[in-house]
């Protein structure tokens, strides 16, 4: 019960009243706590007139339910975890941003996590996540380095949608880009507009997308009747630019390229490749006077600003995040569907590098 003098004080001084809990807040408006509780869980479940009263009071006295008390008994909260392998990579930052917004719009409370390129970190995140009792998780796994057992165990306990990089048949479903289409389309473009490309990649790529892309390149070249060449460079970890740069230098040193067109497995490798080209004084582009053409894959946020701007095939960020978030939400809300994989097409982005 709220003492009368407090109500009076609140009436006189407005925002000065400190509301400690739902009880006090309800008393202030003159309705019962259970009704207020109902409002917070489903605003439409109360009569319009009471809803107005609550919202009016809400505007004046900035009370909000104690989220810890709210979630204590709830078996599933409104939390959604978003996990990416490396937030310092703007590609992941961008898709995470997109997913985050969709969660908010759907009434969930997203929390962002990055494994920062460290597999052990990924496991710790899953651990942390479990104690958050999330309604669901959107997870872009690290890939090869991921602890499969830990992932599987986690997916068994929390509704998890895998995106970006697939781990076979784990979680609710997979949503990502169609890497086959990516590489096929850009290979096709490169073949049509100049010398057929070679394929520049990491020897031990971080995730299976890279393998799909290599295979798609090989298939496309075979279909077009061109000789294929894959250049796999050394390097571990997530410093793709540096790996690309060093690998390019090494390849140039060995005169490894049998063509003037280089298709990189991803944009970050291509960025490093371009740096190496600049360092060697090699002009890159499709114009006259350029020695080689370089293309990437991903539509990395930075690809527009490389020198020359990078021709690439871009993820449909919006479509991927929409599909991923949508699939998770419908699963959370009860839809039961067998595991399935959605792979969305990318769009060619023609710029001056190739």
Is residue 133 at the binding interface for DNA, with CB under 7 A as the rule?
Answer: no
Partner touching 131 among DNA, its own copies, none, CB below 5 to 8 Å by kind? its own copies
Partner touching 147 among DNA, its own copies, none, CB below 5 to 8 Å by kind? none
Burial of 71 (0-12, 13-18, 19+ CB in 10 A): middle
Beta carbon of residue 279, minimum distance to its own copies (angstroms, whole number): 8
Is residue 130 at the binding interface for DNA, with CB under 7 A as the rule?
Answer: no
Is residue 47 at the binding interface for DNA, with CB under 7 A as the rule?
Answer: yes
Query: Which of 1, 3, 59, 73 is in the footprint of DNA by CB under 7 A?
Result: 73
Task: Return the range that interacts with DNA (CB under 7 A); candidates 21-29, 216-224, 290-298, 334-342.
Answer: 21-29
198-202 and 109-114 beta bridge pairing: unpaired
Is residue 41 at the binding interface for DNA, with CB under 7 A as the rule?
Answer: yes
Beta carbon of residue 126, minimum distance to its own copies (angstroms, whole number): 12
Structure tokens given for 270: 């291509």
Beta carbon of residue 225, minimum distance to its own copies (angstroms, whole number): 34
Rounded Cα distance, 73 and 14, in Å:
33
Is residue 120 at the binding interface for DNA, with CB under 7 A as the rule?
Answer: no
Rounded Cα distance, 61 and 26, in Å:
12
Task: Return the range that interacts with DNA (CB under 7 A); candidates 24-32, 85-93, 203-211, 300-308.
Answer: 24-32
Partner touching 119 among its own copies, DNA, none, CB below 5 to 8 Å by kind? none
Rounded Cα distance, 302 and 319, in Å:
20
Beta carbon of residue 181, minimum distance to its own copies (angstroms, whole number): 26
Handedness of CA 197, 201, 203, 204 (dihedral sign): negative
Rounded Cα distance, 200 and 178, in Å:
19
With CB under 7 A as the rule, give the number of residues binding DNA.
27
Is residue 128 at the binding interface for DNA, with CB under 7 A as the rule?
Answer: no
Q: Determine the Cα angle at 245 with ends 197 and 194, to 5°.
A: 20
Strand partners, 312: 349
Query: Which of 11, 16, 20, 152 is in the footprint of DNA by CB under 7 A?
Result: 20
Is residue 69 at the binding interface for DNA, with CB under 7 A as the rule?
Answer: yes
Tell me whether residue 26 or residue 125 sits nearer to its own copies (CB atom). Answer: 125
Task: Give 28's contacts (C-beta < 8 A, 6+ positions apart).
Answer: 2, 7, 10, 17, 19, 57, 61
Is residue 46 at the binding interface for DNA, with CB under 7 A as the rule?
Answer: yes
Rounded Cα distance, 208 and 96, in Å:
20
Task: Return the range that interacts with DNA (CB under 7 A); candidates 41-49, 86-94, 155-163, 259-267.
Answer: 41-49
Q: Determine the Cα angle at 116 with ends 277 and 242, to 5°.
A: 15
Tell me whether residue 201 or residue 267 sits nearer to its own copies (CB atom). Answer: 267
Find tokens 């479990």 and name the residue. Answer: 130
Quick one: DSSP state of residue 62?
A: -
Structure tokens given for 234: 């050394």
φ, ψ at 21 (rounded to 5°): -160, 180
Distance from CA of residue 16 to its chain's centroid?
Answer: 42
Binding residues vs its own copies (CB under 8 A): 64, 66-72, 87-90, 93-94, 96-97, 100-101, 109, 111-114, 116, 128, 130-133, 241-242, 245, 271-272, 274-275, 277-279, 301-302, 304-309
Partner touching 47 among its own copies, DNA, none, CB below 5 to 8 Å by kind? DNA
Query: Binding residues for DNA, per CB under 7 A?
Result: 20-23, 30-35, 37-38, 40-41, 45-47, 49-51, 65-66, 69-70, 72-74
């Amino acid at each position: 019960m709220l003492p009368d003098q407090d109500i009076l004080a609140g009436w006189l001084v407005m925002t000065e009243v400190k509301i400690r809990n739902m009880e006090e807040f309800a008393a202030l408006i003159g309705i019962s706590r259970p009704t207020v509780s109902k409002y917070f869980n489903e605003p439409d479940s109360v009569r319009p007139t009471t809803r107005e009263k609550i919202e009016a009071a809400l505007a004046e006295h900035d009370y909000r339910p104690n989220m810890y008390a709210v979630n204590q008994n709830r078996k599933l909260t409104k939390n959604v975890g978003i996990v990416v392998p490396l937030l310092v990579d703007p590609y992941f930052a961008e898709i995470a941003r997109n997913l985050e917004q969709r969660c908010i719009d759907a009434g969930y409370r997203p929390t962002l996590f990055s494994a920062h390129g460290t597999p052990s970190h990924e496991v710790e995140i899953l651990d942390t996540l479990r104690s958050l009792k999330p309604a669901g998780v959107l997870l872009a796994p690290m890939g090869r380095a991921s602890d499969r057992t830990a992932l599987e165990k986690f997916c068994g306990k929390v509704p998890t949608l895998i995106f970006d990089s697939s781990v076979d048949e784990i979680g609710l479903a997979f949503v990502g880009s169609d890497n086959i289409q990516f590489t096929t389309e850009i290979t096709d473009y490169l073949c049509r507009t100049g010398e057929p490309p070679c394929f520049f990649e990491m020897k031990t790529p971080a995730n299976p997308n890279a393998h799909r892309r290599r295979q798609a390149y090989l298939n496309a070249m075979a279909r077009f009747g061109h000789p294929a060449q894959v250049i796999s460079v050394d390097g571990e970890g997530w410093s793709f630019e540096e790996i690309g740069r060093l690998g390019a230098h090494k390849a140039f040193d060995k005169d490894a390229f049998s063509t003037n067109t280089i298709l990189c497995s991803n944009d970050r490798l291509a960025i490093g490749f371009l740096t190496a080209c600049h360092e060697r004084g090699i002009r890159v582009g499709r114009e006259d006077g350029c020695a080689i053409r370089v293309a990437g894959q991903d539509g990395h946020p930075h690809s527009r600003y490389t020198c020359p701007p990078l021709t690439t095939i871009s993820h449909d960020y919006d479509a991927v995040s929409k599909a991923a978030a949508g699939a998770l939400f419908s699963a959370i809300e009860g839809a039961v569907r067998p595991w399935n994989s959605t792979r969305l097409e990318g769009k060619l982005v023609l710029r001056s590098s190739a």
